[in-house]
Amino acid sequence: MDAVNPATDEQLDSYEEHTEGEVDDALDRASDAFEEWRERPMRDRERLLSAAADTLRENKREYAETITREMGKPIDQAVAEVEKCAQGCDHYAEHASTYLSADHHPSPPGTTAKTVYEPLGPVLAVMPWNFPFWQVFRFAAPSLAAGNVGLLKHASNVPGCALAIESVFRDAGFPEGAFQSLLISSDRVDDILADDRVRAATVTGSGPAGSAVAATAGEHLKKTVLELGGSDPFVVLDDADVADAAETGAWARNKNGGQSCIAAKRFVVHTDVYDEFRRRFTDEVESFAVGDPMADDTDLGSQAKPDLLSDLHDQVTASVEAGATLVTGGEPLDREGAFYPPTILTDVPEGCPVDSEETFGPVAAVYEVADEASAVELANDTEFGLGASVWTADRDRGERVARRIDAGCVYVNQLVKSDPRVPFGGVGDSGYGRELAGDGIREFVNRKTVWVE
């Protein structure tokens, strides 16, 4: 399992995959740890999560450099990702006991009826490379707080991140086996999920990956949460603050090199403001500095892998050949590393790749629509349903339009983001279940009814 810097093509390190015996030992450790961890008082678990937050902050530059070297995001964005993980740990350190307090129900006089929330056991997390720390911590913090233990199967191009995350929990004082990273290939996931010692699974990644895990989990009647792809619309209505929408939209498409499920991907713009938005939006994306991800003034680093850049460029090329207009970008940069510039396409034909597929990189499709109804119709013209953004000067109008868009979360006059305080997840081909907030911590628990006469 090789870690390669996508900005330089340099091999960083090579890791041995865990053998069958090592994985079996890890599952035994997880089972043993769960029996002890589930009995820990909630206050102890919260205290250890707070210690994990401290560990993250104390070593944030070291962790950020590992992120940047393995998957190419700019170092300042990597530092911000580690800080967000610390915030997530802090959130559950403060609120886990409230989220999991018993719910009382009406019952006959002299009886007590309530729902209590008890952990399920070892949970397998299959996680992606694009936010290699945050995607893991938004699962791990609530799940560990609930009394579960974690088994991480991380993406094969970020093994250093996987081991660093395991070390965070170890250094914070979590018991042995409470959180372990398994360095394994994807074709070994089914066998692990089928093992009786694993009680549930969560997946963030592609649709095929989620479907495969869900099928195996369903066969063995195990709970799953899936956070899959997205093709988020960014709707700009005729009364929007166009300058603000263009500035925020440029960042919403290109943050993290555009490699985000919740990135704005389809820009749906009312005809009355279309020309101004396109001009401002183009100026914004052309101002971004693409270069060395270790430099503090870089806005976009490299794409995570050369083959991903090639796939993205194929989507752009096929869309232009189908009739789309290339406004800016559209060619890999002529330099070492997997660098692709911010790219804008207009006059996008229905059914071409940038219209019908998820583009996982800095490529924006911009559409012109005649009215609000057409904007909503186009926003919903996708099999995905992860997030959406609506821009308007009228907050009531924004909320009304938000309610008409089929997505797991809609932000008005803001880019789509995940936040520990609110549930996160999608509908349709974007998956099911929720992460974060109270909904997230209650995904992997037994909602047990206790009736006492």
The catalytic site residues sit at 227, 261
Asked if residue 437 lies in contact with residue 104, where contact means CB atoms within 8 angstroms, the answer is: no
Q: 199, 128, 360: which is closest to 265 by C-alpha?
A: 360
Angle at 381 between CA 378 and CA 382, to 5 degrees: 135
| Crossing angle between the packed helical segments 271-286 and 242-254, to the nearest 10 degrees | 50
Q: How many residues appear in the chain?
A: 453
Q: 153, 132, 155, 152: which is closest to 144 by C-alpha?
A: 152
Q: What gap in Å lies between CA 15 and CA 168, rounded to an integer?
A: 19
Cβ neighbours for 185, distance < 8 A, ≥ 6 positions apart: 1, 17, 156
Residue 359 three-state SS: coil
Alpha helix stretches (DSSP H) within 72-157: 75-99, 134-145
Q: 124, 130, 128: which is closest to 143 by C-alpha?
A: 124
Count CB neighbours of 141 within 10 A. Answer: 28
> Which two tokens mark 61?
């530059």
Q: 106, 358, 112: which is closest to 233 by C-alpha?
A: 358
Cα 208 to chain centroid distance, Å, stands at 16
Q: What region, left, alpha or beta, does residue 104 occupy, with left being phi > 0 and alpha being psi -120 to 50 degrees?
A: beta
